[in-house]
Amino acid sequence: MLDTRELGRRAGSQTEVSRTVPAPADLGIEVLSVPEGAPVELDLRLEAVMEGVLVTGEASAELVGECVRCLDEIRDDLAVNFQELFVYDDSRDYHPGSEEEDETNVVQDDLIDLERVLRDAVVLALPFQPLCREDCPGLCPECGVRLADDPDHAHEAAIDPRWAALAQLDKDSTADGSGED
Ligand SMILES: [Zn+2]
Ligand SMILES: [Zn+2]
């Protein structure tokens, strides 16, 4: 919540605000988010305009998540910019009762609630499928080992069980000691 009283309502007046707030719950997406309560740094410029307060800001915080391919933990720095107009509560009576009303950000009792704006900006900035690194090879589909840890990892081509015994015999007879099971 931001207090706009200091700003006043004279169009053109501006004020800058820097503050650190605890992250609200679910700031992000399921696989990548700012942990609840973690510090979010806000640098904001509030500008009084005719119909309300224009908020321009930058938020930065630390993200924690999980690579969608290898499930490794991801830690990343988040920085998002946003700009949003908050309309004075007493000047938004042109669509009384319409559903659009809920979409409008409002200056209520001189206060601005940035949470939804922040949440939208963060969600938009996040990758849909976060990866620990761009070329993360993921997990072996056969045994689940992280391929990044073991890039030369390989399995024999899937063998029909009826042939497995035979293949084992073959392997034993040609074992040269370099392979490990
Ligand atoms: Zn990964
Ligand atoms: Zn494997």
**Nearest partner of 43 among 69, 67, 21, 71, judged by Cα:** 21
State whether residue 147 is helix, strand or coil. coil
Q: Which ligand is nearest to the CA of 142?
A: 2
Q: CA 37 to CA 14: how far, in whole Å?
A: 29
Taking the whole predicted model, whether its pTM rises above 0.75 is answered as: no
Q: CA 146 to CA 72: how far, in whole Å?
A: 9
Distance of CA 180 from the midpoint of ligand 2 (Å): 13
pLDDT of residue 99: 53
CB burial string 150-175: b at 16+ within 10 A, e below: eeeeeeeeeeeeeeeeeeeeeeeeee
pLDDT of residue 89: 81
Dihedral pair phi/psi, residue 168, rounded to 5°: -60, -45
Distance of CA 173 from the midpoint of ligand 2 (Å): 24
Q: Which ligand is nearest to the CA of 67?
A: 1
Q: Which ligand is nearest to the CA of 72?
A: 1
Give the model confidence (pLDDT) of 16-71 as tens digits. 999 999 999 999 999 999 999 999 999 999 999 999 999 999 999 999 999 999 99
Tell me the pLDDT of the chain averaged across its residues: 85
